Amino acid sequence: METNLRCTKTHRKLWLWLAVLLLSVTAQVAHADRIKDDKYFKVTQYSDHVSFEILVADLWSSDTWCKWGSIRAYSQSDRKGEVFYIMDVQNDDADNDTEGWEIYAHNILPGSQAFLTNPLSGSEVEIGTCTDEEWTNHASNVRYKIYKGEDNLYPTVKIDYYYPAEMAGRTWHFFYEYLHSKGSSHNMSMGYAYCSDHLNLPNPDNSKFSYERTGSDKIKFTVPSLPNDIPQKLQKSRIRQGSVLCHFFYTLKDGSVKRVDEGLDCAIGSQKTHELTIPADACNFKSLNVSIEVLTKIRNVSGATYTDYN
């Protein structure tokens, strides 16, 4: 009887120890440092931009944060090949107890724009460029505040990134590369996204043109307007341009046909009228047929183009 009792007590102690150990392990797993887990870093693809989500601190289990970091895009999933250094995103010190969490960020690539979509102010804020001195000194134009996220413990930076034309038409693998507050370096895979070169913009209406003869050797030709469809916030980086290639087919009195091609500029939001000269040997034409091609493109202010539309 005593032997059985001792065994029972020993078993109870063993089970209690195992239960405590299991709870400890479970707690460690549940409270693992999230900023070391790829699933808290992601990129999402849209028709004209990509969005980033970056967990920049874990204030629950380990009170850790990203001291400094940058978003980069690689042409290969193993962080090789062509690379674009997109922007820097880093943290203030982690002893910030207020509702907001302060970050430092600046955009880098010409022809791109970035917008912080979860600022403490509530309305999206553009993340601009800066000088080296402004970045080093953490000037006011690189400081932004975001919410601390879930339970005020997991501040996540959310950014809409309107990529430059040089990145368009290709798939890129995005990484957040940062220095951990405890000294280690990490390259967090955010996934991959295709940066569309079409930007989901409509083609101009090829049927919206008109012409009339205004003199013995003159024609007034009105070309279609270009859509005013670049969002206002993106008009300092993206520009729509276009022209019309007109094909004039003059049927002469002897039955022969003379073809004349003219390239004419278009205007954004309104039709533009051009005065054209009829060739001297076609002034006495019997009939005239016209067809047009609208050639338009979206380009960066730097001059690089996303795609052509016809």
Same domain, 182 and 236: no
What digits encode the pLDDT tens for the residues 261-277?
999 999 988 899 999 99
| Same domain as 174, residue 72 | yes
Q: Is the pLDDT of residue 20 over 90?
A: no
Q: Are residues 218 and 305 in the same domain?
A: yes
| One domain, residues 236 and 284 | yes
Greater confidence, 54 or 60? 54
182, 284: one domain: no
User: What is this structure's pTM?
Assistant: 0.82
What confidence tens digit (pLDDT) does each residue in 194-218 have?
A: 999 988 887 778 888 999 999 999 9
- Considering the domain architecture, whether residues 249 and 171 belong to the same structural domain is answered as no
Q: Residue 79 domain-assigned? A: yes
Are residues 104 and 37 both part of a single domain? yes
pLDDT recorded at residue 10: 56
pLDDT over 90 (residue 297): no
Arithmetic mean of pLDDT over the chain = 87
8 Å CB contact between 127 and 162: no
d(CA 195, CA 52) in angstroms, rounded, equals 13
Supply the CATH number for residue 285's domain. Answer: 2.60.40
Out of 195, 219, 246, a domain closes at: 195
Q: For residues 164 and 257, state if they share a domain.
A: no
Structure tokens at 174: 């995005």
- Please identify, among 170, 195, 220, the residue that sits at the C-terminal boundary of a domain: 195
Residues 254, 106: Cα–Cα separation, whole Å: 69
Q: Give a yes or no: residue 11 inside a domain.
A: no
Residue range 35-50: mean pLDDT, rounded: 96
- Determine, yes or no, domain membership for 6: no
Of 158, 169, 162, 166, residue with least CA distance to 83 = 166
- Domains: count for the chain: 2
Task: Write out the residue range of the structural domain in which residue 55 sits.
Answer: 31-195
pLDDT of 118 over the 80 cut:
yes
45 and 79 in one domain? yes
Longest dimension (CA), the chain: 128
| Selected residue with higher pLDDT from 31 and 41 | 41
pLDDT value, residue 21: 45
Overall average pLDDT of the 80-107 stretch? 85
Asked whether residue 59 falls in the same domain as residue 169, the answer is yes
Q: Please compute the mean of the pLDDT values over residues 15-27 and round it to a whole number.
A: 45
Residues 75-80 have a mean pLDDT of: 95
Q: What is the mean pLDDT of residues 8-14?
A: 55
Residue 182 lies in a domain: yes
User: Do 145 and 173 lie in a common domain?
Assistant: yes
Q: What are phi and psi of 141, to 5 degrees?
A: -80, 0
Is the same domain home to 83 and 221?
no
Q: Which string of DSSP letters, residue by residue, matches the chain?
A: -HHHHHHHHHHHHHHHHHHHHHHHHHHHHHT--GGG-GGGEEEEE-SS-EEEEEE-EETTTT-EEEEEEEEEEESSTTS-SSEEEEEEEEE--S---SSEEEEEEEE-STT-EEEESSBTTSS-EEE----HHHHHTT-GGGEEEEE--GGGT--EEEEEEE--GGGTTEEEEEEEEEEETTS-EEEEEEEEEEE-SSTT-PPP-TT--EEEEEETTEEEEEEPPBP--S-GGGTTTEEEEEEEEEEEEEEPTTS-EEEEEEEEE--BSS-EEEEEEPPGGGTT-SEEEEEEEEEEEEEETTS-EEEEE-
